[in-house]
Structures are given as structure tokens and as C-alpha cells.
Amino acid sequence: MALWFFLNYFTNFTYDFKLNLMHNHIMRHFRNIVLGILLVFSSNIKAQLSAGDIAFVGVQSDNFVAFAVMVINPIPPNTEIRFTDNGWSGTAFSINENVIRYTSPSTTLATGHVIKFLDTGAPAMSIVGGGSCIGKINVLSQVGDQILAYTGTNQTPSFIAGLSTSNWIPACDVTLTNPLVTCLPAPLEDGVNAIALSNTSSNSDNAFWNVDVFNGTPAQLLAAINNVANWIKSESPSTAGYDLWPNWGQGGGGGGTAVPSPIFFEQSVVEITEGAPVTNVKLKMLFPQATQQTVTLSLNLFSGTTLSDFVTNPTINNNQIQLDIPQNTTEIAFQIQALIDGLVESTEQLSFNISSVSSGLEIGSPNTVGISILNVDNSNTTVNFLTDTLVITEGQITTSAILLAVLPTIAQSGTLVIGVQNGANVNNFDFFTQPAVAGNAVTINIPASADQIQYAIAPFNDTEIEQNEYVTFTILSVSTGFNIGPFNQLVVKIVDNDTPPPIVIPNVVINEINASNVSFGSDENGEFDDWVELFNQDDNDVNISNFYISNDANNPQKFRIPTAFGPITVPAQGYKLIWCDNFTAQGPSHTNFTLANGGGFLRITFSDGTTRMDTVTYPALNQFQSFSRVPNGSGPFKIVFSPSPAISNLDTIPDSLDIGFIKISNLNELLIFPNPAQNFVDIQSKKHSIKSLSIVDVQGRMVNNETSSGLKQGVYRLQTETLNNGFYTIIVRLSDGSSSMSKLVIQR
């Protein structure tokens, strides 16, 4: 505090004498002494650099000593930086080595500026890149050495950069006496703001950062320099010496040209209000420049916005604003203020974009700022729907009015645009409006001083059976002077008036149940699964896809006959077998349950999931029994001892049977063995010889037919290797002209 008082006192003192005793040689000499003191003090104040403000980019140990540093963050004028090849023990420098006291020039050194130090034999190092120095480093050891950069004094250094031609020792040692090695002083970090050219005790006498031109932020520049992978290193100066150092994007001589800084708007969107105080619209730079820079902003006015709506500082000239950016700054702004114009209007829009910059800048992002001028002259008149729902019904004679309130009234006219969004399955043939919908919107005029407006809607009357339909109306926009109110949406529900036709339940019944099948009927895979036979009593085919079959009285929808496989048809007056094998992967006719042979329940349900078509409770059944309707298709159920899948049910074997293509009159004439059979079966007539033989499968298809020329008298052996497992009927013609029939089961 005393020093500050002293300096201020002598500053004022010398100022007075500068005015009044300008020609007094003694006082002029005294003033210079005091100003020299102030200059030293000012220099010390400005020299408070931080670690990473400079970085080493080159070193030569052979032939003559040379090294170079690059400015990362701008260095103020007259800043002192010291360089030494002494080692650091953790608390102090070693001795007997050299110290350079470098003073920067009277102008700011910008980012990217390079300063080269060369030992040319003079008492002090030669400088390329501006500034002056006292002292020199005339020897760097060829077995490893270091250069440390710092501000402050030798006793209290503040380290800002470091370079080792070998490696940093792992830990500081207060007993260190070898000046050729050093630990890395805090706050320096290898690879961050310092660099070691080796990670072992080996060294590289000569090295340089091998990047000619670099574009990026100061932080990115610092990281690239201190990445040893970007360096060329050698024991020989002919490979990595001073003469091979690149210009590092600076131009010849290393004089140093600033790296351009990106400039951009701090915000991409700014809102201002009519009559509000001025607003500062800021632009930012990533890093400062040593010289004044210029940026030009171009104005873009959107529809309805004019230059009379706002003012700026600096003023707009030819739709442009030019800003001069002082040196060593990273921020600039212009001012804008919106004017009250007394007009009722919508929000006004304008924008500025960075159109050109001077050589020390480049256009960054965002390079455009959008400015909205919020209007204070708008009235508080709002437009709202009077209700949020409306129900209309197909076939209604009159249109329905949709009402909107306009309050408080305003003595001006306008228009209202209402968006129309059709719900699912709704199209323009389902309803109409007055005014008509155009481009998914209805436009309505608002008369001056009106407190209510309306439009009409009515449904078309179609004959399509459909669910309720919905149309949503939303206020999209209103004219200047009006506002969209909070009740800005209405949903119209269109109720269908068409009566669906009555549902006709087909007469498909459960006709036969086989709950212990081992030999009577096999599925398409040759498996003897339990089955239920459905019979169609109608004269038209019935598609039973989407019908339900269940063995659970509490779950009538247990198995839905799938639709994915196409129609599953029961022919008119015909049959369909449903295989109850709990194996739905085998096809659409296979259920997800099995039948209990000890008795159970079965139900078939219509596709609506509720209408019962037939229900049966069946008793215990063995492998030779089925539970069948007798007479077929309509009679009551009873246990029969001759299961007949997909053919007419029989209670006993009659004397004769007409199966369509032949009349069977001698039903008990044949002996069939073995039955079930595998690869052959022997057939013998009790009284007559066999003239011909046919085999029919459960689908009524003839799969074998042999005549008397191939038959033998007595027992006839029929080869069955080609027959699949399943149920078949053998029909023979006898020598007396009669016919006989017997069932055959193939089971392997």
C-alpha cells in the first residue's frame, strides 16, 4: 500500500513538473528516474503469465545453441520472461548454469508469434521475433539437458513452459547437484504445457515441432505442440537443426503474424420489446488480436419490419453495421432498441449476419443473430371456441353451427384461419363445412365490433357400417389486432347411423369325438391324434377361420382357428376334422389342447367370441369307440364302436350301404388280418371269390384298385408299403355280383 501511495505521489508530482518545468533539466532527469521505477513496476504487473501461455517449438544443442518458443496466449508489452538450463530440485535451481532475461517488445505479441533465441557468440542471445534479452545459454549438454521458462525471480519463479532433451526425473530431489537433469516443476505437466523429447534417459540434441501451419484454438495449438509425436528429433543438426526449422505459419524470419480468431454471435436469437431499454447484441472471439480488427454485419428485414421500427448504435449505413474491435479484446457489441409505433401488429423480425471480417479474424458460428421485436400495441381481444366438443349424426337434416367468441370487441375487421385434422378413417366424403375446407383449413371473416362468429358443419349420410369418426379443428392464426385464446381447439364427433345387418350363425355342429385315437384316422403327418369332427348342416360351404373351439367351459375362446392360412372350409353337408393334439405348429387344424379320454367338454363358438354354436359333454372313450351323432349330423350323441372320421356316422354295420359309386350289400363277408397292418394285409372272403378290390382313404379318394386278372382265389395278400399311416376302407366285388366292405388301419 505504501509503495502504491509512493508511486501515485511521484506520478502526480512528475505530471505537474512535466507541465510547469518542462525545460528544467534536473526535474526532467528526476521524472525519468521515477517513470523508470513505474515502468519496472508496470512490467512486473503485466508479467503475470500462466503455465501454457508460451510453448517450446524448437531446440538445437549442436554447433550452436538455439531454441524457439511460440506465443499461445497474447503477451502484453514489455513482459519479462526468464529462461534457464539449470535443473530444479523442488525448492530451488541448481547452480553454475545460465539464465536469460528476455523482455518482450512494446507491442502485444499475438497468438502464434514465434521468438527464436540463437547463440551467435555475442554476450547475449540474438533474438528473431522482437524483444531484447540479457544473458545467454551457450551450452546444452549432448547427454541431455533442459530449458525452463518462468516469470518472477530466480528465488520465487512461476513456471510457464519447459523442454527436456531427454526425460524428466520422476520426483524432485532437494539434494540435486546435477544441473543436467531436473524434475518437472509444478504447475507444469508433460504433454500439457511442457515436453520431454524422450521417455527414457536417452536424449535428442536437436528437435523441432514439425507443423508448418496450424488452424485451431489456443488450447488446441498448445496440445499439438506438446505432443512429442508431432516432433522431428535427431542427434544430428543436419537432420533436425536450426536450418531445418519450419516457418510455423509465421512467414520468413519468424517475425510472427497472429493466428486469426473465429468471431461469432454470443446468441443466435434475441428478443427485444417496443419501448424497452437498449439491448447489447454481443459478438465473441476465441482469443484476442494484437491489432485492431473490423467486422461488418449485414441487415436482413423480414416482411412487415422497417428501419423505423428500431435504432442501433453504431447506426446502420446501407443495411450494414461496421464494428471496430480494439486490440487485446475478446468481446464486442452493438446496441439495438425497439421503438413504440402505436400500431397493432404481429411480432416483427430482422437478422444480422457476419458478412466480412479483417485479416485477424475468421467467421465463426453462429454467424447470424435473429432479432424479434415484441409488440406492445396489440389489443387483448381473443378468439375462443365456445365449446371443446360437438356431436353430429349421419342423416341429420340441418347443419350444426360452430361458435367462436371474440371478446372484448374491437373496432376492426380481420380473418381467422382454423386448421382441420381428420381422425382415423375420416375423409372429405364424411362431412362438409361452410365455408368449405381448403388446404386442410377453414378461413372465416371477423366483422368489425363482432363479439361472436361461426361456421357450419354437417355429415354426409353414407351406408357404410363404421365406428364413430372424429375431426379436430384448431385455431392456427388470426389477423393483427386479435389474439388466439386458450380455448383454441374443438373436436367434432360424427356418429354413424347405419344399422349393421343381422349376423347369420351357420349350422356347423360337433358331429363326432374320438378321444383315444390309435387307429381311426391319421392327420397329414401320419399321426393318430385325437380328433373332433365338424359337420356342416347348411347347403353352402362355411369358412370357420376365426371360429373358436375349446375344451374349457370357462374359456370358450381357448383356440381360435387361424386366418393366416386362408379359408378353413367345411363343405356343404360335409365334414372337417380338427386335430386335438396341442401342436398348433402342424397347421391351422391343430388345436392348443388335447382331449381327455376319461370324458370331457367341447364347445364351438362363432367368430364374435360369444355366440355358442354347439356344446358337447362326452363320456370316457376307449380306442375302439367314438362319441357320435346318430343319425349323422342331427341325432343325439351316443357311443359307437366304429369311429368314422370324415364320413357318415354308423351305429351298427347294416346289411347294405350305398357309398355313392357302389352299393355295398354283403358287409360281413370279408376277413381282414392283420388289422392294424404295416406292409401287407391278407383278405379272405367267407363264401365267394374276390373279383376286384379298391382302397379308399378318409378323404374319399381311391388309392388302390385291382381287378380279377391280378387276384388269386382264397386268401389274397395286399401289399401296403405305399400307404401312409391312417384309416382306409377296403371295398371288394365278389363272384356272386355282391360287394363287401371292411375298415383297414395302417400303423407302423
pLDDT in tens, 395-442: 888 899 999 999 888 878 899 999 999 999 898 889 999 999 999 999
pLDDT of residue 700: 62
Per-residue DSSP letter, 285:
E
SS in 3 state form for 405-443? EEECCCCCCEEEEEEEEECCCCCCCCEEEECCCCCCEEE
- Residue pLDDT, tens place only, 296-336: 999 999 998 999 999 999 999 999 999 999 987 889 999 99
Please tell me the pTM assigned to this model: 0.36
Q: List the strands of the sheet with 269-273, edge to edge.
A: 269-273, 368-374, 348-357, 293-301, 320-325
**What is the percent of the chain where pLDDT is above 90?**
50
Helices (H) and strands (E) in the chain, counts: 4, 52
Q: What is the mean pLDDT of the chain?
A: 84
Mean pLDDT of 591-608: 95
Core vs surface per residue 558-582: b (16+ CB within 10 A) or e: bbbbeeeeeebebeeeebbbbbbbe
* More confident call, 180 vs 620: 620
- List, in order, residues 6 or more apart from 219 with CB less than 8 Å away: none
Query: Which of 63, 93, 205, 67 is closest to 143 using CA atoms?
Result: 205
The DSSP code sequence of 605-624 is: E-TTSS-EEEEEEE----TT
Looking at residue 444, its pLDDT comes to 95
pLDDT of 378 > 70? The answer is no
Min mean pLDDT across 33-37, 163-167, 615-619 is at 33-37
Map grid coordinates 505459419 to a residue: 249
Q: Of 13-17, 571-575, 667-671, which one has max mean pLDDT?
A: 571-575
Across 162-176, 572-586, 617-631, 653-667, the highest mean pLDDT is recorded for: 572-586
pLDDT of residue 288: 73
Which of 201-210, 252-261, 645-654 has the weakest average pLDDT? Answer: 252-261
pLDDT (mean) for 357-367: 90
pLDDT at 388 over 60: yes
Residue 115 has pLDDT above 60, yes or no: yes
Q: Which of 513, 502, 529 is nearest to 603 (CA)?
A: 513
**Quick check: 23 pLDDT over 50?**
no
pLDDT digits (tens, 9 = 90+) for 37-90: 333 333 333 447 999 999 999 999 998 899 999 999 999 999 999 999 988 888
| Pick from 76-80, 251-255, 553-557, 564-568: least confident | 251-255
Mean pLDDT of 190-201: 88
pLDDT, residue 412, reads 80
Mean pLDDT calculated for residue range 600-609: 95
pLDDT value, residue 297: 97
Task: Show the CA angle centred on residue 82, arms to residues 76 and 88, nearest 5°.
Answer: 135
Q: Does 469 score more than 90 pLDDT?
A: yes
Residue 421: the pLDDT is 94
pLDDT tens digits along 722-745: 888 877 888 888 877 777 777 888
The pLDDT-based confidence of 249 (bands split at 50, 70, 90) is low
Q: Give the pLDDT confidence score for residue 666 in this predicted structure.
A: 55
Task: Mark out the alpha helices in 416-532 (DSSP H runs).
Answer: none
pLDDT at 38: 33
Whether 704 shows a pLDDT value over 80: the answer reads yes
Mean pLDDT of 504-529: 89
Q: Is the dihedral of CA 458, 464, 468, 472 positive or negative?
A: negative
pLDDT digits (tens, 9 = 90+) for 633-676: 889 999 887 788 888 887 654 444 444 444 445 555 678 888 88
pLDDT-derived band at 709 (thresholds 50, 70, 90) equals low
Residue 82 has a pLDDT of 97
- Residues 6+ positions from 328 with CB-CB distance below 8 Å: 74, 76, 108, 288, 289, 290
* Mean pLDDT, rounded, for 203-219: 84
Residue with cell 381448403: 438
> Could you tell me the maximum CA-CA distance found in the chain, to the nearest angstrom?
166
Phi, psi of 401 (to 5 degrees): -90, 135
pLDDT digits (tens, 9 = 90+) for 216-247: 788 989 999 999 988 999 988 888 998 889 88
* pLDDT band at 589; cut points 50, 70, 90: very high
Question: For 161-165, 380-384, 528-532, which range has the lowest pLDDT when averaged over its residues?
Answer: 380-384
Give the pLDDT of residue 310.
Answer: 95
pLDDT of the residue at 163 = 96
